[in-house]
């Protein structure tokens, strides 16, 4: 049994959707137990089936728009997020899932969960859908706005192991997000990273990749600094949302469009599902001692369930254990 | 009559589509003449109607993937791009349109076309479609990978005038592209720009805007440095392309989907048209003495025609003259 810690109070629709998602996960994933961290009186209103679910009382919910995440984490020891993260240290949980405020979760993970030995900068890595099927790992999606090239090397390496274990890709290719495909493109920083990646034996480096192929890149991992990759993720999200609205507008503009939409409704629903953040599930934080999954803030039950499923998969596939073993054998990654 | 200089040899489908686009423009825009710069023997093969079109021989075509744009511009004085850009200085043309290599065009513009007096850093500004109709100006889409906050202030100001004159927006709002909407978000650079924009009287500053609303932002102008805004543009392009492919896949997966697509084909075509780079037309370079329009490298005739139409509009609306007048009255913008 893998013990998944769930922050029940974080998220735009918390705690209702988080609790429904947890019950859905218990129903569908036989080898997990869930620790549900949150206000037990409120949880009691929504928890209709407590099979393999333990409720741990944690009254405070860190607000979604928390302006001072570090202070929030340090002040609110009784918050569902802090108590959930602390459960990793005590081995009460094997992994934690939260759809709470991203920056607070990152700050909390840094303060309360140890880094993996030798790992310098954690990274957040969501999965992007691919037109040709499967997923692309995108990182760092917001943990480190500025970073050194050698830290990005470690992150890319972690992503490689993740891709091997979780996405079953034997030799994952790493692509550097850039404004052109030629060698030497981009800022000074990108040029340094390019040089370092070109020389490394730690993973296969594809080269520079432009975001105009972001949904079908010639590589399995797309990497940049935490500002740039976050901008890519949010631009894709914005374009997808905007296109969905435009499509709807055009289809409802004419009678034949309406009839067509009726016939095609199943296909259009599948299309929407494939692109929804709900379906993609959570982003994983690389480089911590144990897995922390950030589910989308706007997660409904199904999206949150997918985050729990991802956490269970990471445990089952022993992703973190494998990275630890690799790191131990790599003198490049020794602690400073 | 406005004299539009056309680089006939630059572009993935040059010179055929550029020549067809020029003839289309002559047919549809009564107050323009066109100077067509390129190999006159090759042009002769495609130019079936030379009404108000003058062909100026320029044999060399700078390749689309030109690795050393500055050297290419300096070496190839006989290239269609260089001869076209030089025509601005001699008043042979009032504006230039090219779908040639972006970096070469930017380098050429810097070397051969004077900057507007007092304008420190040029910027490229494409128009993004809006879900709610109209367009958003995006800049700097690739001219300056790193830039000072005070130069971005000038660029935002130019964009404001452009939005007033070309998009008929009385009081355009400027939004700073960022990874969060709260004050103080982003890199140190973004925080400095935010402070400067907040204090200025030159334009209305909306605040930070996340790219997840890129196709329907709460502002008329979206601005960042040349690396970030280029990443946004390419991510939107990539997401739009990927979504189109996904939609097609889903619609052709089932019989009802196919029937639906048949009924909705007009709506789907309009949808595709609205999102195509062809329709959006060219990106304008801000800060030069005269307008240079960069049409998409992959422009077909219609897309290139739209670039010419945009150039004619900029001339007709006296956008550059107005900015010059404003700049003359603004001591903030005095030359160093």
What is the per-residue DSSP string for B29-49?
A: -TTEEEEEEE-HHHHHHH-S-
| A67, A260, A268 ranked by CB distance to B262: nearest | A260
Contact A215 B243 (CB under 8 A): yes
Closest-CA residue of chain B to A132: B246
List the single residue in B227, B234, B261 with the smallest CB-CB distance to A264. Answer: B261
CB contact under 8 A, B235 and A257: no
Strands (E), A224-291: 283-286
B236 to A232: CB separation less than 8 angstroms, yes or no: no
Specify the DSSP class assigned to residue A332: G
Give ipTM to 2 decimals: 0.85
Q: How confident is the model at residue B271 (pLDDT cuts 50, 70, 90)?
A: low
Domain range annotation of chain A:
1-119+287-336, 126-277
How close A269 gets to chain B, by Cα (Å)?
A: 9
| Mean pLDDT over each residue of chain A, to the nearest integer | 90
Which carries the bigger pLDDT value, residue B257 or residue A194?
A194
Q: Can you tell me the distance from the alpha carbon of B140 to that of A326, in angstroms, rounded to the nearest whole number?
A: 42
pLDDT (0 to 100) of residue A336 = 45
Give, as one character, the DSSP assignment of residue A238. H
Q: To the nearest whole angstrom, how far is the Cα of B315 from the nearest Cα of chain A?
A: 31
CATH 3.40.718.10, domain A126-277, yes or no: yes
The yes-or-no verdict on residue B281 having pLDDT over 70 is no
Count of other CB atoms within 10 angstroms of residue A279:
14
Give yes or no for residue B174 having a pLDDT over 90.
yes
Q: Model confidence at B336, in pLDDT bands (50, 70, 90)?
A: very low
The count of C-alpha atoms lying within 13 angstroms of the C-alpha of B13, restricted to the half-sphere facing its C-beta, is 17
Class (C level, CATH) for A1-119+287-336: alpha beta
CATH class of the B120-284 domain in this structure = alpha beta
- Mean pLDDT value across residues A232-246: 87
Closest Cα of chain B to A259: distance in Å? Answer: 6
Do A1-119+287-336 and A126-277 fold alike per CATH?
Answer: yes
pLDDT for B41: 97
Residues of B in contact with A242 (CB under 8 A): 131, 214-216
pLDDT tens string B200-220: 999 999 999 999 999 999 999
Is pLDDT above 90 for A274?
A: no
Which sign does the torsion angle of CA B7, B11, B16, B21 carry? negative
Q: Which residues of B touch A177 (CB under 8 A)?
A: 231
* CA B122/CA B117 separation, integer angstroms: 12
CATH annotation of B1-116+287-317:
3.40.718.10
Q: Would you call A210 exposed, middle or buried from its count of C-beta atoms within 10 A (0-12, 13-18, 19+)? A: buried
**A275/B243 touch (CB, cutoff 8 Å), yes or no:** yes
Q: Do A215 and B261 touch (CB under 8 A)?
A: no
For residues A124 and A142, what is the distance between their CA atoms, to the nearest angstrom? 6
Nearest CA in chain A to B250: A267
Alpha-carbon gap: B188 to the closest alpha carbon of chain A (Å): 9
The model's confidence at residue B290, banded by pLDDT at 50, 70 and 90, is very high
Copy the structure tokens of residue A202: 């730690």
| CA–CA distance, A311 with A3 (Å, rounded to integer) | 10
Query: pLDDT tens across A51-66, in order?
Result: 999 999 999 999 987 8
Cα distance between residue B140 and residue B158, in whole Å: 11
Q: Of B144, B231, B257, B262, which to mutate for an interface test with A (greatest number of A Cβ within 10 Å)?
A: B231
Strands A53-57 and A32-38: parallel
Do A231 and B232 make contact, defined as CB atoms within 8 angstroms? yes
Residue A125's SS3 state is: strand
- The dihedral sign for the CA sequence A87, A33, A37, A145: positive
Cα B190 from Cα B177, distance rounded (Å): 9
């Amino acid at each position: 049994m893998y013990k998944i810690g769930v922050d029940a109070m974080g998220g735009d629709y918390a705690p209702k959707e988080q609790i429904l998602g947890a019950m859905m996960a218990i129903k569908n994933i036989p080898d997990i137990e869930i620790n549900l961290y949150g206000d037990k009186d409120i949880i009691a209103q929504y928890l209709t089936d407590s099979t393999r679910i333990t409720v741990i009382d944690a009254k405070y919910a860190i607000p979604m728009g928390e302006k001072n995440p570090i202070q929030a984490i340090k002040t609110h020891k009784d918050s569902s997020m802090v108590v959930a993260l602390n459960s990793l240290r005590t081995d009460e949980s094997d992994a934690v899932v939260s759809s709470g405020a991203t920056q607070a979760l990152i700050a909390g993970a840094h303060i309360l969960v140890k880094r993996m030995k030798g790992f310098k900068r954690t990274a957040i890595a969501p999965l992007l859908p691919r037109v040709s099927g499967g997923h692309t790992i995108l990182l760092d999606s917001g943990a480190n706005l500025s970073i050194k090239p050698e830290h990005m090397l470690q992150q890319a390496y972690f992503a490689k192991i993740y891709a091997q274990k979780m996405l079953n890709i034997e030799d994952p290719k790493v692509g550097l997000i850039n404004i052109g495909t030629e060698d030497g493109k981009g800022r000074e920083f990108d040029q340094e990273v390019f040089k370092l990646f070109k020389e490394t034996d730690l993973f296969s480096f594809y080269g520079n990749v432009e975001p105009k192929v972001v949904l079908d890149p010639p590589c399995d991992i797309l990497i940049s600094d935490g500002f740039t990759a976050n901008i890519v993720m949010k631009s894709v999200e914005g374009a997808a949302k905007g296109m969905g609205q435009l499509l709807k507008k055009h289809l409802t503009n004419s009678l034949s469009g309406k009839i067509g939409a009726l016939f095609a409704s199943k296909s259009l629903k599948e299309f929407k599902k494939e692109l929804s953040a709900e379906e993609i599930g959570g982003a994983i934080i690389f480089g911590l001692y144990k897995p922390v999954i950030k589910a989308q803030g706007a997660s409904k039950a199904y999206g949150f369930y997918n985050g729990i499923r991802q956490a269970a998969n990471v445990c089952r596939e022993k992703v973190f254990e494998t990275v630890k073993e690799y790191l131990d054998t790599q003198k490049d990654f020794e602690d400073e």
